[in-house]
Amino acid sequence: MPLIVQKYGGSSVADAEKIKNVARRVAETKDKGNRVVVVVSAMGDTTDELIALARQIVRQPDERELDVLLSTGEIVSSTLLSMALNELGYKAISLSGVQAGIHTDSSYSRARILEVAPKRIVRELEQGNIVIVAGFQGISRDMDITTLGRGGSDTTAVALAAALKAKVCEIYTDVEGVFTADPRLVPEAQKLSEIGYEEMLELATYGAKVIHPRAMELGEVYNIPILVATSFSKAPGTLIHGGVSMEVRNKVRGIAHDVNVAKITVVGVPDRPGIAAALFEPLAQVNINVDTIVQNASINNITDLTFTVARSDLNKAMSIVEPVARFIGAKECVSDAALAKVSIIGTGMQNTPGYAAKMFRALYEEGINIQLITTSEIRITCIIAEDRVKDALRAIHKAFELEKV
Ligand code: ASP
Ligand code: MG
């Protein structure tokens, strides 16, 4: 019997009616002759609410306690879905991350999965149960509950699909699939019927919210076909897989954007070995992710160094960088918090000139100033003012004729 892993996000299980709807969809999958493992997120905004609750008690909640608290959100939705399935006459059982055999390291709030030991899941499947697993959580070697980072239920789902050798991992959410750009900002955006792993990984990393980048990484490594679709209708979704044809691959496939961007410039940095390490090591130590880094060629042995961080990390980053900058003899530190990243992505860009020029021209014709540019083999990213994102997306979408896919 084929095995399917389905994951339902927070908006798909936001209330009792929606949970009953999910139960019907799961039941249908079972009726088609599949074994089914379901991974659920916490209901609606539960995770945010639990964080806010903890912060009413203490400004910086203890990491270990916070992870236990947050893990309860997914426990709640898993039990309710199991009850809803029982109510429809189906055998189902809910399992916490621990019971499901999700073993992680012990970095609270951002634990990484070390191993999946799905013995219990297999046993329950053999008994004819639909297995509902609480997403986003696992257990460390010390038997402490950990969480996998915000949006981590996707990662749980793909990890289980890999461990159980599922036929497909289906990720259900409130959008119909992967679009050429965010359809809320670009009305012309088109749904893609398929996309390759590398492209989806870049799209997700650079702001497309449909699937978590870590889940994509796992999907690619274990070659798990991943379907992204909505739980609110029967609309066909987007299949992410490794066998996308050359012709489709040979284009810009999508535009991602991210408005959670701030930049810091250290002005007048002396140009000598060790400076970059001195600046970035302390940021790494407190787990601040530095994204784009640009250092200009120096004039008279003085240079400027600019980098971006998530806007939510800006204050913390400045408090670390300012004293270091003073120590190394830089002139000053300046920051800008109202920035955004806009990225075009497509494997077709590899070795083909002209993509960057076309993107820059589209922005220029809209009167949008590019502050920083970064590229990978299959991506070009421009950092621009946040209030121009919508115009930028529409202009680039048009320039690459993405409405025609
Ligand atoms: N409930 C967690 C969050 O909101 C995990 C998830 O939804 O995937 O981040
Ligand atoms: Mg959520």
What is the distance between the alpha carbons of residues 5 and 39, in angstroms, rounded to a whole number? Answer: 7
Residue keyed to tokens 């004729």: 401
Q: Mean pLDDT across the stretch 377-385?
A: 95
- Token digits for 200? 């989806």
pLDDT tens for each residue of 275-306: 889 999 999 998 899 988 988 888 888 999 99
Q: Mean pLDDT across the stretch 334-358?
A: 91
Q: Which of these, 28, 55, 30, 7, lies nearest to 174 by C-alpha position?
A: 7
- Among 99-113, 114-128, 280-294, whose mean pLDDT is lowest? 280-294
Domains of the chain from N-terminus onward: 3-174 (3.40.1160.10), 255-404 (3.30.2130.10)
What is the distance between the alpha carbons of residues 249 and 253, in angstroms, rounded to a whole number? Answer: 8
- Residue 329 Cα to chain centre, angstroms: 38
- Token digits for 180? 């050429």
| pLDDT number for residue 250 | 63
pLDDT at 348 over 90: no
Q: Which of these, 235, 99, 214, lies nearest to 159 by C-alpha position?
A: 214
Sign of torsion over alpha carbons 397, 205, 212, 1: positive
- Indicate the average pLDDT of the chain: 95
pLDDT tens for each residue of 144-161: 999 999 999 999 999 999
CB 104 within 8 A of CB 156: no
Our answer on whether the CB atom of 42 is closer than 6 Å to any ligand 1 atom is yes
Interval between CA 112 and ligand 1 midpoint (Å): 15
pLDDT tens for each residue of 140-199: 999 999 999 999 999 999 999 999 999 999 999 999 999 999 999 999 999 999 999 999
Q: Which ligand is nearest to the CA of 74?
A: 1
Interval between CA 360 and ligand 2 midpoint (Å): 35
Our answer on whether the CB atom of 153 is closer than 6 Å to any ligand 1 atom is yes
pLDDT at 351 over 80: no
Interval between CA 110 and ligand 2 midpoint (Å): 15
350: pLDDT confidence band, cut at 50, 70 and 90? confident
- Cα distances (Å, whole numbers) of residue 209 to 154, 205, 330, 362, 384: 11, 9, 38, 24, 20
Q: Which of these, 298, 362, 291, lies nearest to 330 by C-alpha position?
A: 298
| pLDDT number for residue 271 | 86
Taking the CA of residue 319 as centre, how many other CA atoms within 13 Å lie in the half-sphere pointing to its CB? 6
pLDDT tens for each residue of 205-234: 999 989 999 999 999 999 999 999 999 999
Cβ neighbours around 339 below 10 Å, total = 21
Cβ neighbours around 274 below 10 Å, total = 8
- H or E, element range at 35: strand 35-40
Which atom of ligand 1 lies closest to the CA of 10?
Answer: 7
- Token digits for 95? 């399992």
pLDDT at 31 over 80: yes
| pLDDT number for residue 246 | 66
pLDDT at 349 over 90: no
Our answer on whether the CB atom of 73 is closer than 6 Å to any ligand 1 atom is yes
Q: Where are the beta strands (DSSP E) in 249-331?
A: 254-270, 290-295, 302-310
- Token digits for 177? 């699939």
Interval between CA 8 and ligand 2 midpoint (Å): 10
Q: Pick from 6, 78, 150, 154 the residue to mutate for probing ligand 1's pocket: most ligand atoms within 8 Å of its CB.
A: 150
Question: Residue 232 has what DSSP assignment?
Answer: S
What is the distance between the alpha carbons of residues 283 and 289, in angstroms, rounded to a whole number? Answer: 8
- pTM as predicted: 0.91
Interval between CA 246 and ligand 1 midpoint (Å): 35
Give the N- to C-terminal CA distance of the chain in Å, as an integer: 36
Our answer on whether the CB atom of 136 is closer than 6 Å to any ligand 1 atom is yes
Q: Which of these, 36, 164, 144, 133, lies nearest to 90 by C-alpha position?
A: 36
| pLDDT number for residue 266 | 95
